[in-house]
Structure 1
Amino acid sequence: MPDPSADAARGPLGIVSLPDRPISPWWALGRRILAALAILVGTVMLVYFDRGGYRDGNDPTNTISLIDAIYYTTVTLSTTGYGDIAPVTDGARLVNAFVITPARIAFLVLLIGTTLEVLASQGREMFRVARWRRKMGQHVVVVGYGTKGSSAVKTLVTNGLDLENVVVVDPKGSAMQEAHADGLAVVTGDATRRDVLRRAGVETAEQVIITTDSDAANVLATLTVRQLNPDAYIVSSVREQENAPLMKQSGANSVITSSDAVGRLLGLSSLSPSLGSVMEDLLSYGAGLEVAERDLLVSEVGKQPQTLPDQVIAVVRDEKVYRYFDPVVTLLARGDRLVVVRPAKEQPWAPRPGTHGEELAGDQE
């Protein structure tokens, strides 16, 4: 059963929100207007209670009414100052000097300063979103920012993807807060809706990762993404293996079965704790071993996969994946890409392509 507290704070649906968004300027404006009204009412009451210390040059009876107090307060706080009503006693003049004048300054700062702040904040936010949209293209859209989604983003970023090229789509306010804390742009809304996906720039996205907690939602989101962008590479997760074929038919290029993967890892760990530890190491990033795909170096052309410094486990040739022992890839050729297991930290005997000035086999001659 979903936790209602997780959805307590929801952002505006379908609206792009960038990280580190400040408190709503309209809420700040409302609070400051209330403060300005409080200053206005307080000054009116102060003048009215001390009405004997004021003189009205347009009233022969020299009587200061409540309306006169309101009139004097408004023209004084707004710095208009017609001068027809003026303080004449020492007490009234001291109140004007040490109470009403500071109140006038505070009043102007609250109204004029806040108006400028609202306009500037709205303008800055609109400019940021417009600039973000102009830079979008060939980016990655992540649908669902739970444990799987955040882990996928972390893996992409640690492998060189810029945070600005990742957009999260999630309807939950808690997910928006977590994504913003990680420096990511968020579109708050249901990823099965076309308008929400369009705001996330799915039509120009290079890759889409779909990781909601519902297989049905994942299928529908995959169908919608594929209709909007026939060329996007879609990676989707399913909880149950029986739903994987349906996900493929919906347009997903790659389907990851979370329950089977976790179950297999648990079984391996039970049969062999050492094997389970190695598998967990391969799935984690930044320490120990890592699985990576890299370009073939010129110096490696014509060699056998088993002879390379990296432990080659597969060769990608003509968009097909071959295991390292397949006769098709007995000798490596230009254009091949290697799937390898190697230390997470670079070692002298296992250079990463391009880090030591190596020439890639796919480079133009």
Structure 2
Amino acid sequence: MRGGTPFPEKRNGRQAVPLRRLQYTLALLVAVIVCGGLGYHQLAHLNALDSLYMAVTTLFTVGFRELGDVNAQTKLFTIFYLVIGLGTASYAVSNLTALLLEGDLKGYIMERRMQKRLDDLKDHIIVCGFGKMGFQAAWELKKAGIPFVIIEQDETKGRSPRFAGEMILYGNAMEEMVLERAGVRRARGLITALTTDADNVLVTLTVKQMRPDIPVVARSAKLGTERQLKAAGADHIVSPYEIGGRRMAGLLLKPEMMNFFDIVLQQEQLELGLERIAIATGSPLVGQTLREARLRHATGSLLVGLVHPGSGLRFNPSGEERFQKGDELLVMGPPDALETLTRLAKG
């Protein structure tokens, strides 16, 4: 498996082969033993245990003593049983050995475990495409402790030690079956970072058709394709070349500002964080004004912006703004201050 699970449409037939082979082999072996036991029960007048004992010892040529009536009928049956049953048993044993040595059975068991992990997953992020950009997005999610699933069509990718044990679906992210298996209906968001803009547009269309409310972040490889991605339903569009160019210019024009953003956004920096925190119904903040709440004094965090339900983000709100249930606070501060405010907002 190498840390992932294969694409169902391409591999479902091969995935089911080990199970079918195992079931067929075991059924064949049991059938031969049962037939032998019934034969000795009828001809040698043995009980069930002794009949089974004779069938197994004869079939595997152990050579222990014979039980029951050793008459001409029993001898003829033993000869026939050895000729037919031994060949069948040899085939069954060799089949079982091949399953174990070839690793098919182990792969099938790992496949089932992976599917169970996928079925239990919720509130995760789906990353479509495991190229350079998808790799970095997945790495940031892993560092942040956010559960995620990677969808990648190239099975040679995804073998990095950084992602050992992570859930990787090998398949076409534009297929509804793959997205369903990745848990798109339970996910908190999706990132599509495929090679071409056309593929990203198609993934966005497919995802929005399956679940219109899921936030989608799409990669734009070429300038000018943002409109198509927006029309397809992408909530956020990222152009790596545009962002890279802005950052390069910003490092020369406003280096202090760029360093500030690095401190806020990079997961390695623990001194300062930026979070978006929702106010629950039972929070003591509901009904209070910003001035009354005194968030900076009470929690040590700084309120940067406020989002009322149905309205946009307002930066640096006034002290007369009154908190409502469902409000979202854009706050900045050290991790302990943000944790304190999160508890306060949840009530």
Q: How high is the TM-score relative to the length of structure 1? A: 0.59
Which moves more between the two structures, 150-159 or 330-339?
A: 150-159
Shift of 1:120: 5.5
Change (3 A) 1:354 1:154: farther
Q: Distance in 2 between matches of 1:333 and 1:225?
A: 34
Change (3 A) 1:352 1:272: same
| Residue segments in structure 1 that go unaligned for 5+ positions in a row | 1-9, 18-24, 27-77, 83-107
Pair 1:248 & 2:234 matched: no
Residue aligning to 1:302: 289
**Counterpart contact for 1:240–1:260, Cα < 8 Å:** no
Q: How high is the TM-score relative to the length of structure 2? A: 0.62
Residue aligning to 2:321: 331
Cα deviation, 1:250-303, whole Å, max 9, x if unaligned, reads: 011222232222221111101132222222333311314332212456358312
Secondary structure, aligned partner of 2:195: coil
Change (3 A) 1:136 1:15: farther
Cα deviation, 1:79-115, whole Å, max 9, x if unaligned, reads: 6278xxxxxxxxxxxxxxxxxxxxxxxxx99876665
Residue aligning to 1:262: 244
Q: Aligned ranges for residues 332-351 of structure 1 at < 5 Å? A: 332-335=322-325, 336-343=327-334, 345-346=335-336, 350-351=337-338
Residue aligning to 2:61: 80
Q: Distance in 1 between matches of 2:131 and 2:108?
A: 32
- Partner AA of 1:317 in structure 2: H
**Counterpart contact for 2:119–2:183, Cα < 8 Å:** no
Pair 1:316 & 2:310 matched: no
Q: Distance in 2 between matches of 1:221 and 1:245?
A: 15
Residue aligning to 1:224: 206
C-alpha root-mean-square deviation of aligned residues, in Å? 3.9
Cα deviation, 1:223-268, whole Å, max 9, x if unaligned, reads: 1111222232212122345222221110112222322222211111
Pair 1:272 & 2:257 matched: no
Q: Distance in 1 between matches of 2:207 and 2:129?
A: 14
Q: Distance in 1 between matches of 2:278 and 2:177?
A: 38
1:144 to 107, 115, 129: 129
Q: Distance in 2 between matches of 1:290 and 1:158?
A: 14
Secondary structure, aligned partner of 2:329: strand
1:127 to 102, 109, 112: 112
**Counterpart contact for 2:149–2:168, Cα < 8 Å:** yes
- Partner AA of 1:121 in structure 2: K
Shift of 1:210: 0.9
Change (3 A) 1:351 1:316: same
Q: Distance in 1 between matches of 2:266 and 2:289?
A: 32
Change (3 A) 1:129 1:267: same
Shift of 1:218: 0.9
Cα deviation, 1:128-157, whole Å, max 9, x if unaligned, reads: 144234314443211012333233334434
Residue aligning to 1:38: none
Identity percentage of aligned residues: 21
| Residue segments in structure 2 that go unaligned for 5+ positions in a row | 12-16, 19-58, 64-91
